Structure 1
Amino acid sequence: MQPGEPSRTALGAATHRAVHQVLEQGRIFTDPLAGRILGPEAALAARRAEGDATQRQLRLFIAVRTRFAEDALRTAFARGARQLVVLGAGLDTYAYRNPLGQDLDIYEVDHPDTQQWKRRLLAEAAIPVPDNLTYVPVDFECETLEDGLTLEGFDPGKRTFFTWLGVVPYLAEETVFSTLAFIASLPGGAQVVFDYGNPPGATPSAVMDTLERRVASVGEHLRSRFETEDLHARLRDLGFRAIEDLGPAGIRNRFFAGRGGAPLERGGHILLATSG
């Protein structure tokens, strides 16, 4: 991020979610607010994206990680989770179309500049802010998640679900694991969904390479990638007792069986970790 400006990568991810509703008719996940929050830019972005195969692969990966997270949240709610924390919320619209109702307390955590921008876009689009949503302004690189949530009434004794999509690759490794350690330590138990990339290998990853070029062009850079086995070991050391990790083959089998266009390369993973 540039000082005083909202995250460009948050805008990019929101644009991909909106374009997915148009070019793939929301087949992976449906979000009636994805285009609305962007205004006229959504339709322009869809026209620009037609026929661009590199955009399509990244767009499908973003759609899959959102679908995976929302499916896991629905299961967690059925098993007693009553708090949702959206880390690096960007222009995510889940809180404003939440099908689980008022029994789910939602906390959106993001950099203050990005959060202010989002609230302006919501107002311009006449998207109401629900009573069960709390905004938590936090700069992950100089403030702790624990401090930010504590100030806003978060209850560590309640079972909590965290989504952390499109954020981990941009953070320093120390920040990533200190945040995960906090989540694992919550006495009420928690789950977290996040996406990550493997280090560059012999097999190229179109999704990760395209992402790296695009974010570098707007002054943001990928800072953390992980080997899968090493990441799982560190998660277990932190206290996560169950790990579900969808890599390229898992994504293909779950979401694209019988279809083309899946992000198949080494690189993009979506992970669900459970503590407590």
Structure 2
Amino acid sequence: MIEGQPSATAFRVAMRRAAHQLLDKPLIFEDPLALTIVGGDRGSVLARDELSRADSPGGETIRAFLAARSRFAEDRLAAAVARGVRHVVLLGAGLETFAYRNPFADKGVVVFEVDHPATQAWKRERLAATGIAVPDNVTFVPVDFATEHLDQKLLEAGLDPGVPAFFSWLGVAPYLTEAAILSTLGIIAARPGGGEVVFDYAESPEKLTLLQRLAFTTLAGRTASLGEPFVTFFRPDDLAGRLAALGFSSIEDRTGPDLGQIYLGGASALDRAAIGHVVAAIKTAATATAELDEPATAA
């Protein structure tokens, strides 16, 4: 990010979520606030420069992957809520709308939105400008990662580290250094209450065909020109090992084609999402682990 400015890619992602609601059938991910938060109707959204490539194969693929990763995250969240999780943390929330259409509010699910101060201030301006109400169960947590610590800021915001929490961290990791990614995952893993994290990452573009690499190079150039270049790539087996070393279990890693099979049941634009992955990993609560490790005693 450019210091003092909101994330430019956050707006592009929001625009593509809105375009998905208008252009793609069947929908992978339904978001009734996607159009509202970008401040547009069908005509104005489709006319914007950011969507001038909306009907290109590359644009369709990007929209499909962004929709699928959100669907995957919210499906995993629903399963976590069914297990009793009631605290949701959106890391790098951008213009994500989950907190304002929370289907689990009646179950006591609360949301902590974490983002860079400039991006979060911009989002709150957009919420006010577009008339999207902020529920009482939403807490904004501005964090400048250059000078502040995530775990401390969450504690100050009222998130008890001893309760399980669900972390959604989408569209952020590829722009961070490997050290920053693993540090954040380590903070999540260290929470004694345990929980789950869903995040996305990119494999090295070396595996791409020539045409796919040209498309990726174009996309990477656009994000770099916005001050948000791609920085880190992982090999799936290496990342799985690192997650396991941090204490995560039940690691589920899905590629674009995997998500296409799950949500569309066959060949789709997601087959061209060659290097994007979404991961879900669970960290068991420390108390539960301790109980399992304790030797049995005679009655």
TM-score w.r.t. length of structure 1: 0.94
Map 1:230-241 onto structure 2 (within 5 A). 230-241=238-249
The residue aligned with 2:84 is 80
The residue aligned with 1:163 is 168
Is the Cα–Cα contact under 8 Å of residues 260 and 266 in structure 2 kept in the other structure? no
The residue aligned with 2:14 is 14
In 1, the alpha carbon distance for the partners of 2:41 and 2:154 equals 33
The secondary structure found in structure 2 opposite 1:163 is strand
In 2, the alpha carbon distance for the partners of 1:28 and 1:265 equals 15
Is the Cα–Cα contact under 8 Å of residues 208 and 267 in structure 1 kept in the other structure? no
Is the Cα–Cα contact under 8 Å of residues 252 and 264 in structure 1 kept in the other structure? no
Map 1:133-212 onto structure 2 (within 5 A). 133-204=138-209, 205=212, 208-212=216-220
Is the Cα–Cα contact under 8 Å of residues 14 and 92 in structure 1 kept in the other structure? yes
In 1, the alpha carbon distance for the partners of 2:267 and 2:147 equals 44
TM-score w.r.t. length of structure 2: 0.87
In 2, the alpha carbon distance for the partners of 1:26 and 1:38 equals 22
Aligned residue identity for 2:59: Q
Q: Which moved more, 1:166-175 or 1:196-205?
A: 196-205
Aligned residue identity for 1:238: L
The residue aligned with 1:267 is 275
- CA gap of 1:132–1:210, structure 2 versus 1, over 3 A, is farther
The residue aligned with 1:125 is 130
The partner residue of 2:224 within 216, 221, 228 is: 216
Structure with greater proportional helix content: 2
- CA gap of 1:179–1:245, structure 2 versus 1, over 3 A, is same
In 1, the alpha carbon distance for the partners of 2:169 and 2:217 equals 21
Is the Cα–Cα contact under 8 Å of residues 212 and 222 in structure 1 kept in the other structure? yes
Quote the sequence identity (%). Answer: 45
In 1, the alpha carbon distance for the partners of 2:34 and 2:218 equals 22
The partner residue of 2:237 within 224, 229, 240 is: 229
Q: Which has the larger radius of gyration?
A: 2
The residue aligned with 2:39 is 39
Q: Which moved more, 1:134-143 or 1:207-216?
A: 207-216
Deviation at 1:40, TM superposition (A): 2.7
In 2, the alpha carbon distance for the partners of 1:192 and 1:123 equals 29
- CA gap of 1:31–1:72, structure 2 versus 1, over 3 A, is same
Deviation at 1:25, TM superposition (A): 5.2
Is the Cα–Cα contact under 8 Å of residues 109 and 138 in structure 1 kept in the other structure? yes
Is the Cα–Cα contact under 8 Å of residues 19 and 54 in structure 2 kept in the other structure? no
Aligned residue identity for 2:253: D
In 2, the alpha carbon distance for the partners of 1:153 and 1:5 equals 27
The residue aligned with 2:69 is 65
Deviation at 1:53, TM superposition (A): 1.8
- CA gap of 1:25–1:236, structure 2 versus 1, over 3 A, is same
The secondary structure found in structure 2 opposite 1:90 is coil
- Give unpaired runs (5+ residues) of structure 2: 285-299
- Give unpaired runs (5+ residues) of structure 1: none
Deviation at 1:216, TM superposition (A): 1.3
The partner residue of 2:114 within 109, 115, 122 is: 109
Deviation at 1:27, TM superposition (A): 0.7
The secondary structure found in structure 2 opposite 1:36 is helix
Aligned residue identity for 1:246: R
- CA gap of 1:41–1:90, structure 2 versus 1, over 3 A, is farther
Provide the aligned length of Structure 1 versus Structure 2.
Answer: 276
